[in-house]
Amino acid sequence: MLIKLLPLLVSVMVCLNMQAQSADGRYISRMTQDGTLYFINPQKLSKTEGIKNFEYDMTLLSWTDSATVNFTFRSGLMAKPENLAIRSGNNVFRCDAFKPLFIDIKKNKYEIRITSRFPISVLATILDNPDPPIFDFTQDGIHRHAAYSEGAWRKDRKKLNDIYRIYLYSK
């Protein structure tokens, strides 16, 4: 009888483990003189158009109402990104306050890193949406974008929601 129940128990344990996605390892928190800093580790996005190796990281500070979002990607163009926006469902969040951090040459491409700032309410709206966010911009008038796959967003969204709730708790 126990041998017959063993596959069922293993299946249940695997299912429970798949649903419990821990935010541990996805972020680092540090106490500072002003409050708590939450650094959300870089996340590489697999669905890209016109660019390669797109990843973003985020910093939340308990004493502010904004999120700093940094983007790094590789492109065949040495051009600053323009018209930066994050699309989430029917919402489009434009960012006018962004600037380049650096540009470098990596494997015959240009690696570009920019920093931007969004109101924390934008993050809350994105996390409320089950559809994966899309990071949009142009380079020399050419449209570029990067997005999560649906499965990756489903997993990371839970982790990001947990981190966001911890951020709110510390305010």
Q: For position 21, what pLDDT does the model report?
A: 56
Domain range spanning residue 81? 22-170
Q: Is residue 7 part of a domain?
A: no
Chain-wide mean pLDDT for the chain?
Answer: 88
> What's the full length of the chain, in residues?
171
Is residue 163 within 8 A of residue 38, CB to CB? The reply is yes
pLDDT at 6 over 90: no
Please indicate, yes or no, if residue 5 is contained in any of the structural domains: no
Query: For the residues 34-46, what does the mean pLDDT come to?
Result: 97
pLDDT at 142 over 80: yes
DSSP H or E run through 161: helix 150-170
* CATH number of the domain to which 141 belongs: 2.60.40
Identify the pLDDT of residue 91.
Answer: 97
Q: Inform me whether the pLDDT recorded for 19 exceeds 60.
A: no
- Which residue in 45, 105, 43 sits closest to 76, CA to CA? 105
Closest of 126, 114, 132 to residue 164, by C-alpha = 126
Rounded Cα distance, 147 and 150, in Å: 9
Question: How many domains in the chain?
Answer: 1
User: What is the separation of C-alpha 168 from the centre of its chain, rounded to a whole number of angstroms?
Assistant: 18
